[in-house]
């Protein structure tokens, strides 16, 4: 628990010089005339803690207005106890010069730690107070003069922030703020997602591009193979057509040279000639034989006659007639043989031509009476068309790349079809479009790290964001529950305090979420708003709320809860009965058990100052009378 130990003030506002040793426990009445320095005593403690004044001239940030008129500086030294530590704070203001500050923190079992930088002193003091800053202190255990309704008049957000500091939840609030998922955080995660998606799309596009290239090469090879096979078929067909044209030409020549009708007519003529020769040859032979017989007879007659000369002449004649006949026979026989040979040759030629014609027609699949010229014309046209088609195939084949290396690197089982290529190309176009779409949100598109690294980074960011969101929700719920606990506890505490401060007239109050107060009015039989009551009653109600709120909101952990309560002129609107009730509440009642040190500033004479165990009477900026001691170091 935090308690005040001692205080020394020099020339701060109306306080010229003041040295006080605070009691460890007890209520202190601070009284005196107006402008005697009572409220400045309150402000000096506030300045010692936080290095700021409660009210500065014209709301200026300068602290020069805290220096007593006619003086050049003001000094406040304040001693505190915070559990197992003691704090000695010193602050000095000099006109037109920077403020000086020093803090000495001493642990029970440790060496003192001294801090002299103003900013570090301010930070460390708040840390030692458990995060209780000036605003939180003013809204809880420092009840300023004429500001009893301050808690009610605060905006909801301001009251919430103050309550967080009072409850020492500002750290929790800072953690909640630290873990809160903001739009920038979600935007950063989305950008990481875009970067990962872009890198993944670029990676997939590169892989798919290679796949498309290989697929195209495989299809090119397949097309080339098909073209090669087709070209071979067309070449074979062309060779067959060329051979057909050649055979048709040969058939035409064979049938032109060995036409059947002329050959048969010639054969018949030669046969008739042969028949005539065969008919003449016997007659010629007979005629020769008859002449030879006559000559022989003449020879014989002549011989018989004994005419040798005549016989010789007859023999000669006989020989001549025989030779002529023989020659004639021989000549006819030769012509007959020639005619026979010609006839045989013609028959053989006709037979050979017929056989050749039949063979050629059979090979060409021509009917015996088919027109050779028409077949030859058809074959020539087919040959020309085949040559043209073959030339086109060779042109297409020359334009198809081989792509053997790509084909070899294709994965086994990969479908090599036009449909597969179209599907891969469509996917590749989608990936390229995806990268183009993401390029505005990914400025370093060409310098992206590996997609796997970005995916891991994005997954980690998503996980961290979810952890932060979950942690923020937990912290927010914890804060909400702790803050929400204050309102019902404030209402219960007010029910305890309200009858004392209102002399038993009011027993129950209802506090709204914005800390508006409705009292249960027995006469009206309903809850009635605070604004309907008199000024004094409203002050009593507001004080009851402030005290109830202070009891409910201040943390009770050792070293974290302020053990002092300051109230500046809380009795100005109280009558004697209600003043007595408040004095009792402060000195011996519930407040005395909660706050070891209670300080009441008052100039009221409606109660006995002897009710307070400690009294401090102020006059002209100094101590006129006190039952408080002085700190040994200040004596």
Mean pLDDT of 267-294: 64
The tens digit of pLDDT for each residue in 35-62 reads 888 888 889 999 999 999 886 444 455 7
pLDDT at 273 over 80: no
Residue 277: partners with Cβ closer than 8 Å, 6 or more residues away: 332, 335, 336, 339
Highest mean pLDDT, choosing among 68-82, 250-264, 516-530:
68-82
CA distance 515 to 490: 10
So what's the pLDDT on residue 57?
43
CA distance 438 to 432: 10
So what's the pLDDT on residue 159?
61
Residue by residue, DSSP assigns 181-239 as --HHHHHHHHHHHHHHHHHHHHHHHHHHHHHHHHHHHHHHHHHHHHHHHHHHHHHHHHH
Binned at pLDDT 50, 70 and 90, residue 93 comes out as very high
pLDDT at 473 over 80: yes
CATH for 2-176+469-634, among 3.90.1200.10, 1.10.3430.10, 3.10.310.30, 3.40.50.300?
3.40.50.300
Helix, strand or coil, per DSSP, at residue 573: coil
pLDDT at 416 over 50: yes
Percentage of the chain modeled with pLDDT above 90: 14
Mean pLDDT of 469-492: 78
Domain boundaries along the sequence of the chain? 2-176+469-634, 258-394
Binned at pLDDT 50, 70 and 90, residue 81 comes out as very high
Mean pLDDT of 418-447: 74
Highest mean pLDDT, choosing among 113-117, 199-203, 447-451, 542-546:
113-117
Q: Are 463 and 181 in contact (CB under 8 A)?
A: no
Q: Are 517 and 498 in contact (CB under 8 A)?
A: no
Lowest mean pLDDT among 109-123, 521-535, 550-564: 550-564
So what's the pLDDT on residue 325?
61
Highest mean pLDDT, choosing among 118-132, 336-350, 568-582:
118-132
Binned at pLDDT 50, 70 and 90, residue 593 comes out as confident
CA distance 38 to 50: 19
pLDDT, greater one: 255 or 287: 255
- Widest Cα–Cα separation across the chain: 233
Mean of the per-residue pLDDT values for the chain? Answer: 77
Lowest mean pLDDT among 72-76, 77-81, 85-89, 436-440: 436-440
pLDDT, greater one: 328 or 398: 398
Mean pLDDT of 194-209: 76
Percentage of the chain modeled with pLDDT above 70: 70
The CA-atom distances, in angstroms, between 462 and each of 6, 181, 183, 470, 506 are 54, 11, 14, 12, 56
So what's the pLDDT on residue 56?
46
So what's the pLDDT on residue 541?
79
DSSP conformation class of 450: -
pLDDT, greater one: 360 or 178: 178
CA distance 329 to 324: 8
Residue 493: partners with Cβ closer than 8 Å, 6 or more residues away: 547, 548, 549, 551, 552
pLDDT at 163 over 70: no
| Category of 632 on φ-ψ map: left (φ > 0), alpha (ψ -120 to 50) or beta | alpha
pLDDT, greater one: 236 or 364: 236
So what's the pLDDT on residue 115?
95
pLDDT at 63 over 70: yes
So what's the pLDDT on residue 521?
80
pLDDT at 403 over 60: no
pLDDT at 361 over 60: yes
So what's the pLDDT on residue 47?
95
Highest mean pLDDT, choosing among 46-55, 69-78, 385-394, 477-486:
69-78
Q: Are 203 and 209 in contact (CB under 8 A)?
A: no
Mean pLDDT of 97-104: 94
Lowest mean pLDDT among 16-20, 77-81, 163-167, 199-203: 163-167
Mean pLDDT of 244-255: 75
So what's the pLDDT on residue 635?
45
For the question of whether the overall pTM of this predicted structure is more than 0.85, the answer is: no
């Amino acid at each position: 628990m935090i308690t005040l130990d001692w205080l020394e003030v020099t020339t701060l506002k109306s306080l010229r010089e003041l040295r006080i040793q605070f009691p460890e426990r007890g209520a202190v009445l601070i009284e005196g005339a107006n402008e005697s320095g009572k409220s400045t005593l309150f402000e000096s403690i506030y300045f010692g803690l936080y290095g700021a004044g409660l009210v500065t001239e014209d709301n200026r940030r300068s602290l020069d207005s805290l220096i007593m008129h006619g003086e050049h500086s003001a000094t406040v030294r304040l001693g505190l106890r915070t559990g197992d530590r003691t704090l000695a704070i010193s602050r000095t203001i000099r006109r037109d010069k920077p403020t000086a500050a020093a803090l000495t923190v001493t642990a029970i079992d440790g060496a003192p730690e001294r801090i002299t930088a103003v900013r570090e002193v301010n930070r460390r003091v708040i840390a030692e107070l458990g995060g209780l800053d000036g605003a939180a202190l003013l809204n809880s255990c420092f009840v300023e003069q004429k500001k009893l309704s301050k808690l009610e008049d605060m905006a909801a957000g301001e009251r919430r922030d103050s309550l967080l500091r009072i409850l020492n939840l500002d750290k929790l609030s800072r953690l909640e703020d630290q873990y809160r998922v903001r739009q920038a955080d979600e935007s950063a995660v989305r950008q990481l997602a875009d970067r990962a998606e872009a890198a993944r799309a670029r990676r997939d596009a590169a892989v798919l591009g290679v796949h498309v290239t290989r697929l195209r090469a495989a299809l090119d090879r397949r097309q080339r193979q098909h073209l090669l096979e087709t070209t071979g078929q067309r070449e074979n067909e062309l060779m067959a057509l060329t051979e057909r044209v050649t055979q048709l030409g040969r058939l035409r020549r064979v049938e032109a040279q060995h036409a059947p009708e002329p050959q048969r007519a010639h054969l018949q003529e030669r046969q008739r000639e042969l028949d005539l020769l065969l008919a003449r040859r016997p007659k010629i032979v007979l005629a020769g034989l008859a002449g030879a017989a006559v000559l022989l007879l003449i020879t014989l007659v002549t011989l018989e006659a004994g005419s040798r000369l005549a016989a010789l002449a007859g023999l000669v004649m006989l020989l001549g007639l025989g030779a002529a006949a023989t020659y004639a026979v021989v000549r006819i026989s030769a012509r007959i043989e020639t005619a026979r040979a010609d006839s045989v040759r013609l028959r053989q030629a006709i037979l050979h031509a017929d056989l050749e014609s039949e063979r050629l027609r059979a090979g060409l699949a021509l009917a015996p009476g088919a027109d050779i010229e028409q077949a030859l014309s058809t074959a020539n046209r087919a040959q020309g068309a085949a040559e043209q088609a073959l030339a086109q195939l060779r042109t297409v084949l020359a334009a198809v790349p081989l792509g053997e290396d790509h084909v070899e690197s294709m994965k086994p089982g990969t479908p090599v079809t036009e449909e597969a290529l179209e599907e891969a190309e469509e996917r590749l176009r989608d990936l390229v479009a995806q990268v183009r779409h993401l390029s505005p949100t990914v400025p370093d598109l060409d310098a992206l790290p590996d997609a796997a690294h970005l995916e891991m980074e994005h997954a980690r960011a998503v996980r961290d964001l979810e952890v932060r969101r979950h942690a923020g929700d937990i912290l927010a719920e914890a804060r909400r529950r702790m803050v929400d606990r204050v309102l019902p506890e404030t209402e219960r505490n007010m029910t305890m305090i309200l009858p004392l401060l209102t002399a038993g007239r009011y027993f129950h109050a209802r506090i709204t979420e914005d800390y508006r107060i409705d009292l249960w009015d027995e006469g009206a039989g309903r809850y009635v708003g605070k604004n309907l009551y008199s000024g004094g009653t409203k002050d009593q109600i507001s004080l009851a709320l402030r005290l109830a709120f202070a009891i409910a909101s201040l943390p009770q952990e050792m070293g974290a809860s302020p053990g002092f309560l300051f109230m500046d002129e809380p009795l100005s609107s109280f009558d004697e009965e209600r003043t007595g009730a408040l004095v009792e509440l402060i000195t011996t009642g519930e407040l005395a058990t909660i706050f070891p040190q209670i300080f009441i500033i008052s100039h009221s004479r409606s109660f006995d100052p002897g009710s307070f165990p400690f009294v401090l009477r102020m006059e002209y900026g100094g101590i006129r009378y006190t039952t408080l001691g002085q700190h040994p170091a200040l004596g």
